[in-house]
Amino acid sequence: MLNRRTLLQSLMAAAAMAPMSSGRLLAQGAGKRLRIGLSTYPAHFRAWVNVGYAGHLVSALLNRGLLAYDTNGVLVGELAKSWERESDLVWRFTLDDAKFNNGQPVTSADVKWTLEKIAAEGSGAHMREQALQIDSIEIVDDRVFKVATKEPSATIPALMAYPFLGIVAAGSTSEQDQGIGAGPYVLTSAEKGVEILLTASEHYFRNGLPTLKEIHITPYADENLRVAALRAGDVDLIDYVPWNAMNDIAATPGLKLDTQAAGAFMYLSFNGSGAFGDPKLRQAVSFALRREEFVQAVFFGHGAPLAGVPRPSVSPFFNKELANFWTYDPDKAKALLKEAGRESGLKVSLLSTSQYTMHRDIAVLVQSQLAEIGITVDLILPDWATRVTMGMRGQGDFAVQGVGMDSLDPDATSSLVDPTRAAHYNYSRGFEVPGLSALLARGRSEFDEAKRVAIYAAADRLACEHASFCGVSYRATGFARSDKVGGLELLPDQLSPFSANLFDRLTLS
């Protein structure tokens, strides 16, 4: 019987394979409409709430933050043209001459309103906990403001560059809408699950940008249909290139593949309200994984094992010993199970999703490998939106996760390794690692780099010894495009999933 889902997939496949579809005709002529095949339709377009990389891609076209990273990983001005530390507790920022998409200037009052809304209780903002370190915001004039922190904070500039900290016009956003941003595009129309249409903002503050008049976004939850749409010419660019298609796309005339090998990464988060409140059981899982198998089987070699706290290898905070802390050791894993009184076996539930094959396939491999040491894993594999909801509610004993560090500051891993931070679907929860929170707080308040290196090394060791999370593997970040699309650059290393911040520079010939 042809059910609704089968019918929809058939229609989408037919559209993806039609070389002269209506979407293709629309892009011809002026060559000013870029068509993006997106991995999922975002749950919403709010600038502050993390709903995944697909949501960020859209948000990055609508919003700008105060600072950003360039392609060398250096902090640069965005809405703010300069910043300086006046004292251990005060940072001074000067805004550029920027306007929101409705033409009104970006002022210090808008920044103050945005940061206070993010820090407000119940905001749902991804950066709420980090924003709470701000004690007050003083408006000097329309273009200058000062940020005073409750404790000395070396992380404030990096905080202002976070992808989920877009500045919106005061009073313009609520739980129902995305607000008025200062990004290169304006939301023209959106039909949930079907399409999103963006139009170039006439008020964008970068001269000559964006170069494209319109961006048309079509969601393709099925990654094979997304690739087929690119091949058929129905879209010009796709995100989340499946790893099994990377080599073939790179070898296809007329197509280009842009990847960052050490981009995002996969890991397991733990829910301490159940069995994984015991650190011995978390450690048992961490030593039971053959990580190279994940790299080869799930990512077709486009990645690397992750056996410790993720730190870019070029960073002064990289520690080779700690980077390989969880070597495969099944005997040690079984011994830890015995010490925890689970020698006869352990049954747990693993939350993942069927929508992204990397999440699904990692869950299946984890299930298989843990069975070898006596841990029975029941898989929970809903669609992505349901998986996010379940994760926010704390369902599942542990969960498959995929993120990229949205900052190069070493404190970016704090939410990853410290389960006492605000509960979120991406991170561990429900237990504490003694001494870890205090170490991370010291790291944030220390301005001397050498001292920070020592502090974060100690914090990383605690996180590994207590398995506050479990690294699985790095995965290459990939965008694929028609060779008619130019100007695409990727942010470095773990920032690469957020490269849509640079999409204002894209061209279409």
Strands of the sheet with 80-87, listed across from one edge: 80-87, 90-95, 144-149, 134-139
- The pLDDT of residue 52 is 84
**Paired residues of 243 in beta bridges:** none
Q: Which residue has the tokens 């050791």?
A: 329
Q: Which of 322, 326, 328, 342 is nearest to 278 (CA)?
A: 342
Can you list the alpha helix ranges (DSSP code H) found in 372-494? 384-392, 414-417, 436-445, 449-465
User: Considering the chain, what is the average pLDDT of its residues?
Assistant: 91
- The pLDDT of residue 118 is 94
Q: Report how far apart the first and last C-alpha atoms of the chain are (Å, whole number).
A: 45
- The pLDDT of residue 174 is 58
Q: What is the DSSP string of 374-402?
A: TEEEEEE---HHHHHHHHHTT-SSEEEEE
- The pLDDT of residue 494 is 84
Beta strands in 319-384 (DSSP E): 346-351, 375-380
Residue 357 has pLDDT above 50, yes or no: yes
Tens of pLDDT along 59-87? 999 999 999 999 988 999 999 999 999 99
Query: Rounded mean pLDDT of 50-55?
Result: 87
User: How far, rounded to the nearest angstrom, does the alpha carbon of residue 203 sit from its chain's CA centroid?
Assistant: 28
**Paired residues of 83 in beta bridges:** 93
Residue 8 has pLDDT above 60, yes or no: no
The model's pTM is 0.79
430 Rama sector, left if φ>0, alpha if ψ -120 to 50, beta otherwise = left
Residue 19 has pLDDT above 70, yes or no: no
Residue 59 in contact with residue 45, Cβ under 8 Å?
A: yes
Query: Which of 12-16, 263-267, 466-470 is predicted with the least confidence, judged by mean pLDDT?
Result: 12-16
| 388 φ, ψ (degrees, to nearest 5) | -60, -45
Tens of pLDDT along 25-37? 333 334 489 999 9
Between CA 310 and CA 250 the distance in angstroms is 28
Tens of pLDDT along 284-317? 999 999 999 999 999 999 999 999 999 987 788 9
